Amino acid sequence: GTDDQVQDPFPVRVTDDDGDVSPAATLTIRVNDDGPTAADDRAGQANENEPVTIDVFANDSAGADGVDLAGGVALVDGSLTGSGSLVYHHDGSFSYTPAAGEQGEVRFQYRLTDGDGDS
């Protein structure tokens, strides 16, 4: 999962040019598995009743494993507050088309999943 740490300790001895050997020591390598990080987004509507498109991934961080925009960005089920339709374009952007007469702020949540499954 995100922020998992893997450790691999092993014993080490160092020998110099004269053949002197150091006391045994342990070398530990830690690898931190970072996940993608999403940042809040905001977009406005230019004209009444027109769709709004926003590139939600533009201000996010993919992490070391990267995010495949075709399949690594997904709407969180049940999070859309508007009555219009929301479409993901498989490139990091969503478009929201308001329902007839819809007014006010619309919110939704999305989830990023990286190349090794962290989200």
Residue 72 banded pLDDT, cuts 50, 70, 90: very high
Q: Which two tokens stand for residue 58?
A: 């533009």
pLDDT at 1: 54
- Judge whether 43 and 54 are in contact, CB under 8 Å: yes
pLDDT value, residue 2:
53
Confidence band (pLDDT; 50, 70, 90) for 82?
very high
- Tell me, what's the pLDDT at 119? 87
Q: Is 56 helix (H, G, I), strand (E, B) or coil?
A: helix
Q: Would you say 8 and 28 are in contact if contact means Cβ atoms under 8 Å apart?
A: yes
Distance of alpha carbon 1 from the chain centroid:
12
Residue 93 has pLDDT above 70, yes or no: yes
Amino acid at site 89: H
4-10 long-range CB contacts below 8 Å, 24 or more apart?
4/32, 4/33, 5/30, 5/31, 5/32, 5/33, 6/30, 6/31, 6/33
pLDDT at position 71: 92
The larger pLDDT score, comparing residue 87 to residue 7, is at: 87
pLDDT tens readout for residues 1-60: 555 667 788 899 999 999 999 999 988 887 777 889 999 999 998 888 899 999 999 999
